[in-house]
Structure 1
Amino acid sequence: MRSIWAATAMTVLLAAGAAACDSSSAGPAPAGGLAGSTASSSPSATPDLEAGEELARGLDVPWGLAFLPGGDALIAERDSGRILRLRPGGGTPEQVRTVPGVAARGEGGLLGIAVSPTFSSDNLVYAYLTADADNRIIRFRLDGGDPETVFDGIASAGFHNGGRIAFGPDGMLYAGTGDAGETSTSQDPASPNGKILRLTPEGKPAPGNPTTGSPVYSLGHRNVQGLAWDADGRLFATEFGQNELDEVNLIQPGRNYGWPEVEGDGDTAGGRYTGPLVTWPVREASPSGLAISGGTAYIAALRGERLWTLPLNGDTAGEPAARLQDRYGRLRTVQVAPDGALWLTTSNTDGRGDIREGDDRILRFPAR
């Protein structure tokens, strides 16, 4: 645990005791959030990117972010394997679980999390993690009990692990995976790597997938780390390029997005490959998290250290604009809360950023 917030965490422990819900989550509590109350927000309004509020600080590479039905946020820390619960008004994040079996190395660790669409009845949370032998998806009840592996066998490496998971409007679980440095897997329909997978909540290939009995929804990806749907159910994804161009793609079932044959815009080989909606030079983006509010996509950029806003118009996109540039450093995850506010996680403690005092932090931008 980093010394930048150890003293604060110890103070919290002495005052409040352990906040974990099971014995596996023993350890120092995270540093406190700063906002005692937050600005009002409306789900029908637009996030105000000039009205940022810091909800929590001193976190250890916050990667996954998902919301419970009541508005509380669950935050997954990549390297510690901890899941924290943070209330919309800020305050001290509560450690609710340490996920067993997390092998944090390089870009791997505890990555994306998703809340079951039937959480009110099943209390289930899903997580994508790097284990000793592979990347896998597990699920567990938030109120306790052992986790259950629902999908495994996704090759892992020090980089290109993918990791974003999300439930779609159809109630199916989608997962973005990486090529784990073996580029040929992205074009191999039998490999789960370099793909977007579509699964049932039990981890089986979802009905209606392009190939019956296969979990593959789309292929030809390098490293997918953002998934989001617009109001009409269109799926969009962000993808890291190699040396030249990062991408935002409109994902359609069965389509091949070209990697490693094509990076960014390029020859579609007579329609075999599907081109991206938007590209950026790698130095300006490294797009990770993706969220959609109204007619705008919000893309969190790591190397680019900015938030891209992208107007969406059906199957097409307008001109992207850079916001929050160089203000908070590397931005990992962006999500829209139930009240319409936009939440952001920074990623300056991941070994590639310049650590600012208080990093890493959770930021909120109310919609009004």
Structure 2
Amino acid sequence: MRSRWEAAVTPFPEHAVLGTAYVYRALDSRRAERGTDGMNRLLASVPSLAASLDGTWRRTSDGYRILCSGPLGSAPFVWEAVAVGPTAREDAFDAWTWHVHRTGAPARFTRYLEEAARLRHQASVHRAHQQSFRAMCLRLSATSQRLAERCGEVLANGTGPNDLLAAEVTIAALYVGDQGLNQSLRDLRDMRYSVRITVDTMTGVLPVAPGNDVGGDQELSHDLTALLDDDIGHGESVKQEAEEISRTAAVLVQQRMHLLQQRTTIIQGAVLGSLLMALAAVQTLSYRLPLPGALHAPLITWLSVLALLLPVQLLRWRRADGGTRRPTWFDQLSVLSMGAATGWLSASVGAIIWTGAPALSAVSSGCAMVLGLASLLADRVRASRSA
């Protein structure tokens, strides 16, 4: 019978089905309810592999009797079932077993088999992903502990918060994404909700009652629900621990950033303030620097460029978080301008020392260009090493 059915029906792709159930229907003409021995004799009369089924007959909410084998292997599952109904209710029994309702809804027993396959599919999916979920929780827990250790080191040594920020980035990466902890917990909660709906649907066909053993379905649903609750609880515990440590690290990072910002402000204020104080003193005391006139223009240019670009470079190389950032076009322009101004001043000073005369325009321009390009190249090398 089974071989003829398989030969007549076009097989579905394995990825498109949850499983295949072979249902053997039998009609019982006796009015009196059969005992277990009578049902087993009826089962033995079925000319198929179903005759080798061993288990407990179960009574449905509609008064029918069924006996199902446990599906083996992984999806798509294959199992067999025997359904027995009274001859007097053959039409209702057919509608309960395999007829499609006029609304398009499947028969109740068909729906039960579909939910049983879905329950086993959910269990197999959980088994396949449980190890990776536990590994992700271990990584998150280890990162949280490393972050807590870095917090202690920062407090003890007064170092910058670079390591804290790196650990927080790692924790954030474990939170987000399709494989992140947040999505995994959401999937586990959705699976637990789906399992509850599946079990409720199956219980509507095979109610849980004394003397009505629901077999491996109830045991599987209880085990799967317990495993899901355990994974959700473990994941939420690890997440709560990481969030508490992250909040502590965030406070420490904010304090350290504020301290570094204060230091940066003091440094640039001291340098610029000293320059302004010197210039104000020179002007107030009418002091004339004993410098040749040829050095006035390059010296004024160099001081002006220094006063303009020093804050920019300080913020670049000494950020509030203790790190550095990638150079922008303005950073490169400032380095080039500082190098060119230094080259012009150096050429002028050298000409005064060696020749006693102002430097030629070609020499000043050449020195400014060479030193400006050299400064830009050195800045790029330094930035690449710091990256």
**TM tier, shorter chain?**
under 0.3
Q: Which structure has more helix as a fraction of its residues?
A: 2
**TM-score, with structure 1 as normaliser:** 0.21
TM-score between both structures, scaled by the size of structure 2 = 0.20
Q: Which has the higher strand share?
A: 1
Instruction: Indicate the structure whose relative CO is greater, using CA pairs within 8 Å and at least 6 residues apart.
Output: 1
